[in-house]
Structure 1
């Protein structure tokens, strides 16, 4: 078996496969180490917005997090340490950039081609490249003409000196609200270009004391109970963000109070009011975002960017904002999924063509026409709240069950009618959710919402808990049908 990607999802899949007795697993990682987004995102202030007690694999509990919300270096150390101690690191081939994967129907195997030209084969292929692996670079006229350094938050250039310089940050999402406060007191001037203001509420962060860490280590039941309690709170948050209930109103009020207390200037406050309903985007947690924007050397610009010039950024009001460094805090190309890897299934059909009208997969995992192929963190499995690791582990356990069926009966392919019915359910539910009013962020070019899951983690776990062979057909069945015709 081949697993592409060695982040949280790929390592979870490999762990569960190996635990189930499937020891012949190779992980292909294009970078030089494991870690996924936590290896790549090393911008100043990088941290998790999910409580650390919940942001870990269930099979590798960590009791000594230094903070309630873990910082990037500690999360990466956790991933690396587990991969090493468990022996999974020995199964990872680093520097293995997958460019193509093709299903060979006569051989009933997948052939995977690396950028070096080397070809590997496996009876099962699992993609675990995630939704947040490719930085989204905005198509701004003249971006290449900027005279100073330009880099994305996910490819932060630590060699660029920021002290005393005029720095522009494009974007006000989850990365920007961390990096801006982290560098604001180092720069000479900062301009934050905001397309739409985020909802930001207080972050209940703080350092864990040695006593608390010791209690978690000595009393595993206490740690499990705390984790479960945080999970239930996060599930409630998931429900709240997609409802018009009282808790949503409470969160909205918490945001209003947070903004009013931290931004005294009415004019600036007005610019920081979102123009979309609470829940459209992921709710953000920060205690220092708003204060950073109130610094006298910081300017928040809401006018649209019309062009980038050698000396700075020009906005729709005609003003040129002179800059020395430009940082792109513009998120990731989440709707592109496996791009640029090309995957071809039965009869040479390309996955890109099968997804021409928008990515879709049964349970977010299986695509008709692509036998024995599974997508971890695939279409419609992202969350508006809670820890994605719970979703990744549910998918990994489902893949294990599927592999058991494949080992016993040969290649399996999800039935087109089952996949279509599931996709119709997803789109119907999403059409009635808060995300339907946020088309510009969540819909792909085909007009579909392809990233988000419309329910809770608990529901997804329930629906993936048992692999149903009736949802699939064996390739032998297809061959028999063809011969009968």
Structure 2
């Protein structure tokens, strides 16, 4: 007999833990969490590279029902975040509901049974009424195709697949990329390596951070006066909302003001005119995710660092080759190249009503959903951080907003006596027509850049929400019965 649960949640990161909390709050304790790894943590389990940390204030990058007075820094390092996730799971008492080392590979809707039939890579078959995908959009590393890589005698490592046995001390190190991970790992490399090559095809806007450290006295005040944590959360949320609104409506005056602040900072840290030119973006602020770092520019300006503005085209036995033919001898190549965010739920095949494929049929042209969460033709399937849900700020706030919406939909199914819920094709098309129209006027679409927000880095924007977090929370808080199909 196939194992059945009312709800199956995929992913043991923040999304999975938030789902567990909300299900328990609703009195729904028949659920199972599938986690492909042997421990919890999501991106914070995988990204263990030197200096890895969150670039969102820690008190905002926290679950609202589990504020943490024990953060030691305003931008928490990966190990503190990982410990926090595990503590929340243990406090909820849900560890026995987590099936570790279990990877979902297919989900097929059984119309007669009103259930999803699931198959795992390990050969397990499961069945559930509600399927919540909380595996995250930043979970599959983007690995560039580098001819000759198999001949390289050194080490190649992606920041999301870090091997602590690989040392950069006294080595010749190449760091490929200019994302947040590159901005964190490169200063460490410069401190310990013999020499560093920074490969930056598209320079980011870099702003200094205002790192604060919380000693035991500060932590005690947070415990005794939790309103202090709430105040920090509200202040951070407001700042992100204002900045995102500026980007969403392409406020030229405000963008120019921010770009002026960036230039002042960059010029204060980079004296060399040639390097300044290499590090000057050719697109508008916010089109790509800005980098928050007070150490990236000084590391790039260090005498031990060489900067290339052209990409790596190949590898040899002894190093890397640039697109213009230059060569560089290396011992370690660090790929800080991010994730395939637009290839959502990679490795899983979904078949909804009439056997229709999510990716080959519904998403043949681009990923899309109703309110970023449910898809027409795929009953009782809920996407956490799905298409057009990346609202600027804390992704945890996005997850919590979506989870509240999901719980409302599940409750609606039960109260109506129906088996399933999904959006109508009309409502889904209308919603995505609005998204496309709003996105066209935003810096993310019109800011003239390549980014991981876009299909193939240059196509349609499919991950970003065309507004700020406040507007996303408002959108997901309403249940429009006329947009839904209950069967």
Q: Is the 8 A contact 1:173 1:198 kept in 2?
A: yes
Q: Which of 359, 377, 380 is equivalent to 1:369?
A: 377
| TM-score computed with the length of structure 2 as normaliser | 0.94
Alignment partner, residue 448 of structure 1 = 460
Unaligned runs of 5+ in 1: 476-485
Deviation >6 Å, runs of 4+ = none
Alignment partner, residue 166 of structure 2 = 160
Structure-1 separation of matches of 2:164 and 2:319: 21
Q: Is the 8 A contact 1:41 1:154 kept in 2?
A: yes
**Does residue 1:431 correspond to 2:440, yes or no?**
yes
**Does residue 1:253 correspond to 2:265, yes or no?**
no
Deviation at residue 245 of structure 1 after TM alignment: 4.6
1:355-394: CA deviation from partner (whole Å, max 9, x where unpaired):
01000000000111100101000000113x3111111000
Deviation at residue 311 of structure 1 after TM alignment: 1.6
Structure-1 separation of matches of 2:320 and 2:93: 49
Q: Which of 344, 347, 350 is equivalent to 1:343?
A: 350
Q: Is the 8 A contact 1:237 1:386 kept in 2?
A: no
Deviation at residue 439 of structure 1 after TM alignment: 5.6
Alignment partner, residue 209 of structure 2 = 203
1:376-428: CA deviation from partner (whole Å, max 9, x where unpaired):
00000113x31111110000001101111222322112101100111111111
1:182-232: CA deviation from partner (whole Å, max 9, x where unpaired):
221111111111111110011011212333222221112232223212211
**Does residue 1:380 correspond to 2:388, yes or no?**
yes
Label 1:318 to 1:221 Cα distance change in 2 as closer, same or farther (>3 A).
Answer: closer
1:413-424 alignment to 2 at 5 Å? 413-424=422-433
Alignment partner, residue 273 of structure 1 = 280
Q: Which of 66, 83, 88 is equivalent to 2:72?
A: 66
1:6-17 alignment to 2 at 5 Å? 6-17=12-23
Structure-2 separation of matches of 1:84 and 1:370: 33
Label 1:439 to 1:222 Cα distance change in 2 as closer, same or farther (>3 A).
Answer: closer
Alignment partner, residue 179 of structure 1 = 185
Query: C-alpha root-mean-square deviation of aligned residues, in Å?
Result: 1.5
Q: Is the 8 A contact 1:129 1:338 kept in 2?
A: yes
Alignment partner, residue 86 of structure 2 = 80
Alignment partner, residue 397 of structure 1 = 404
| TM-score computed with the length of structure 1 as normaliser | 0.95
Alignment partner, residue 24 of structure 1 = 30
Deviation at residue 40 of structure 1 after TM alignment: 0.7
1:227-238 alignment to 2 at 5 Å? 227-238=233-244
SS at match of 1:335: coil
SS at match of 2:455: coil
Deviation at residue 255 of structure 1 after TM alignment: 1.2
Structure-2 separation of matches of 1:324 and 1:98: 37
Alignment partner, residue 310 of structure 1 = 317
Alignment partner, residue 3 of structure 2 = none
Deviation at residue 338 of structure 1 after TM alignment: 0.7
Structure-1 separation of matches of 2:313 and 2:267: 31
**Aligned length, in residue pairs:** 474
Structure-2 separation of matches of 1:94 and 1:27: 8
Structure-1 separation of matches of 2:337 and 2:102: 27
Structure-2 separation of matches of 1:206 and 1:222: 14
**Does residue 1:42 correspond to 2:48, yes or no?**
yes
SS at match of 2:192: coil
Unaligned runs of 5+ in 2: 1-6
